[in-house]
Structure 1
């Protein structure tokens, strides 16, 4: 993997337990636990990303004196693509609790051949000029959705930095992001090598939106 790609499960930690439970077909039946494990992994990646952000030394006054503390120089903006990414996004805003958020509605338009295009319906965001944007989505499969969304945002705003975070990414998806957004930093809890013909990651975890919120009608 490129040096600007961080893979969480390369190092053993409690995060591996949360990831294993997300993948487990039996544990997945508990929607609350499925959402909660995504939230936990979002918190862990938020912490890891926070190490790369700029800080400013500040004086904090306690009842007994003054402590010098490094605090974030500027809050990032946390974005996600509805609906599957909402629990993962919650983990990020639990840690970046002063950050603004952006939300994207996008969908695949599938042709009879099985090929598909990405349609962005709406982007609701605060001002992003000069901001650090963290785009988080549960699954980074082909990478086409996130690349389309990020390019749309970058056409309107000059971002300070862009981070893409996923619970599970595919090797192909990371390569697509790298080819189209070469300066982005990619963060994933795990990377799988295979995808089905319908662009589901294998072994992956299934349909994250349906598992978190119920099957679509």
Structure 2
């Protein structure tokens, strides 16, 4: 697990947490967060070397990323995915609509039932980056990882989130011990409804409602 705690990341996360941030600004900040995340995650992506010619007709080494797929969990991840594609321009893109079943109170172990109502998963066995701004109980992302593994055999899973909890992180690593998690912050607790505290609220609602 790696925390992205650069000054730029801290400023963006602070503005995302602020309840007075408008939905338009919230979407822009998610886009920027996706870009920053991709820059950090790029350290994990193998490169292919090839040769190009410069305008001076001199050949030199160049690099491109190996095959990579970016999969967003709808709908909150949409702006972050677009930000990531500024870095991973040639990535295949997929989406899953996954939502946990809300209850009056979460079970003691925070294992939540999750419905996946839509999926479009790239078919390549590439490095897969799964994007979901909030890694709370880990139930949603654990089910997403299992579903993706039913379709393809990725060389590696990388999870990109804004805010995580230790419970969520441990659940992901139990589901797939080789996964690498990038997050802007690890918040201390979940409330009785399994929302991250202090968190930033419901990222999807704040971006689109």
- TM-score, normalised on structure 2? 0.92
Equivalent runs, 1:1-217 vs 2, <5 Å: 5-9=1-5, 12-26=6-20, 28=21, 30-64=22-56, 65-72=58-65, 74-111=66-103, 114-115=106-107, 116-128=112-124, 130-214=125-209
| CA 113–191 in structure 1, closer or farther in 2 if over 3 Å, else same | closer
Q: Secondary structure at the match of 1:78?
A: strand
In 1, the alpha carbon distance for the partners of 2:76 and 2:186 equals 18
Alpha-carbon RMSD:
1.4
Aligned length: 204
CA contact (8 A) 1:7 1:187 kept: yes
Q: Secondary structure at the match of 1:95?
A: coil
Pick which of 62-71 and 137-146 moved more: 62-71
| Structure 1: runs of 5 or more not aligned | none
Structure 2 unaligned spans of 5+? none
Residues 91-144 of structure 1 show CA distances to partners (whole Å, capped at 9, x for unaligned) of 11121111111110122223566554111112112213x211100011000000
Q: TM-score, normalised by structure 1?
A: 0.89
Deviation at 1:68, TM superposition (A): 1.2
Tell me the distance in 2 between the aligned counterparts of 1:110 and 1:198: 8
Taking the aligned partners of 1:154 and 1:208, their CA distance within structure 2 comes to 26
Deviation by residue 1:26-67 (Cα, 9 ceiling, x = unmatched): 2x2x11111111111111110111112111221111120122
Structure 1's consecutive aligned runs of 4 or more residues displaced over 3 angstroms after TM superposition are 110-116
